[in-house]
Amino acid sequence: MAVLLTGGAGYIGSHTAVELLSAGYQVVLADNFCNSSPQVPRRIEQLTGKPAPIYQLDVRDADALEQVFKENQVDAVIHFAGLKAVGESVERPLLYYRNNLDATLTLLEVMAKYSCHRLIFSSSATVYGDPERVPVNEDMPVGGCSNPYGRTKLMIEQILLDAAAADPGLSVVLLRYFNPVGAHPSGLLGEKPNGIPNNLMPYITQVAAGIRDHLNVFGNDYPTPDGTGVRDYIHVCDLAEGHLRALEYAETHRGAEAFNLGTGVGYSVLDVVHAFERANGLTIPLVFAPRRAGDLPAYWADAEKAARLLNWRTRRSLEQMCADSWRWQRNCD
Ligand code: NAD
Ligand code: UFG
């Protein structure tokens, strides 16, 4: 019995592969490497001492995907594959709709053909749009996403809910990630953004490495304790563990269920900068810049449902996220 990880060479997929292999699962990876490196499967094997077979394919290619199901007894799928850059999705919306929606539809069809009934989907806190209050819980309405990337997540959630409603044998878990950061403590796996990073943590690590001059803090006039934006940063290894718990849940529950994966704690941009400085003994030069278009002032997860039903809690501190991010930055060139 194997778990197929689409997008398994990517940032979150690779960390999840390590967790699954370490827990005794067999994994198969499928990735077209459009945003990852072919070296990643080898690093997963190096870390775990177990095989991580990789199929280089586009998940939209039904014939190639079928080959995976023919050659392996795929018992469950974790569907990470997708494009995720918010800004690019505004510039190239059709690319995002075509890639993210088609990949999911093709996957669902192939899964049905091979009687595979368990699916974990990488969704995002972005599906809540501009939430009416914080912390955000799973009963709050979804919608009002401000960009095509977010709308692909919303549409895929809806597709999966419909698929689960029509097939009582299907088990779907929608995992709504908050802000994944950090890297494997070995320094062998992490996220390597293309070009100028959009996200806070990789930007900070590039400033620390001298690649960028200073951090632009987008807005210091938000209605938050220090005026900067507040988010729920979660260590990617904690997030990876959440996928194990979701797989176990899906084994015993039918239908579709959504879970927030966050720590339940919000930190401001300045909190993150100061934690990074403390954890690594460095100073991060910063400049206050105007607010970034489309940013919300503050949101973080209500993580109670995942604690109660998945028996999952985060364990790693903000300092640990910062230390591991910096180790990876120094190793990844
Ligand atoms: P990532 O880009 O590192 O990983 C995605 C992987 O999917 C990449 O290796 C890419 O090459 C692959 N891929 C993309 N389209 C494909 C296709 N059609 N066929 C085969 N492979 C394909 O991203 P990540 O940060 O690991 O994110 C994983 C998932 O989690 C994505 O669906 C993303 O939208 C979602 N997510 C990420 C975040 C985040 O901040 N990182 C937050 C919320 C949700
Ligand atoms: N920020 C800066 N300077 C930077 C980068 C970010 O001040 O150079 C601030 C932002 O304004 C925000 C916070 O840092 O207040 C976090 O920003 P990120 O870009 O790291 O993360 P976001 O919360 O904006 O977006 C992330 C993912 C999206 C996902 C969203 C919701 O990047 O894909 O979370 O889950 F949709």
Name residues contacting ligand 2 (CB within 6 A). 84, 86, 124-126, 150, 178-179, 198-200, 203, 215-218, 229, 231, 269, 292, 295
Token pair of 270, please? 């300045």
State the Cα–Cα distance between residues 102 and 122, nearest whole angstrom: 15
State the Cα–Cα distance between residues 242 and 268, nearest whole angstrom: 24
Q: CB of 112 within 8 A of CB of 40? A: no
Nearest CA to ligand 2 atom 14: 200
Q: Quick: pLDDT tens for 247-276.
A: 999 999 999 999 999 999 999 999 999 999
Cβ count near 233 (within 10 Å): 25
State the Cα–Cα distance between residues 223 and 234, nearest whole angstrom: 23
Q: CB of 15 within 8 A of CB of 44? A: no
Check whether 123 has a pLDDT greater than 90: yes
Q: What are the Cα distances from residue 63, in Å, to 114, 116, 168?
A: 13, 16, 26
Token pair of 286, please? 């910063």
Residues in Cβ contact with 96 at an 8 Å cutoff, skipping those fewer than 6 apart? 83, 88, 89, 148, 149, 152
Looking at residue 194, what is its pLDDT? 87
Task: Tell me if residue 233 is catalytic.
Answer: no
107 Cα distance to chain centroid: 18
Looking at residue 264, what is its pLDDT? 98
Alpha helices in the chain (DSSP H): 11-22, 40-48, 62-71, 86-91, 93-96, 102-113, 148-166, 200-208, 236-252, 269-280, 304-305, 318-331
Catalytic residue among 11, 55, 96, 149: 149
Atom of ligand 1 nearest to the CA of 84: 34
Check whether 1 has a pLDDT greater than 90: no
Looking at residue 280, what is its pLDDT? 98
Whether 10 is in the pocket of ligand 1, judged by its Cβ within 6 Å, is yes
- Going by C-alpha positions, the residue among 125, 121, 123 that lies closest to residue 140 is 125
Percent of the chain exceeding pLDDT 90 equals: 97
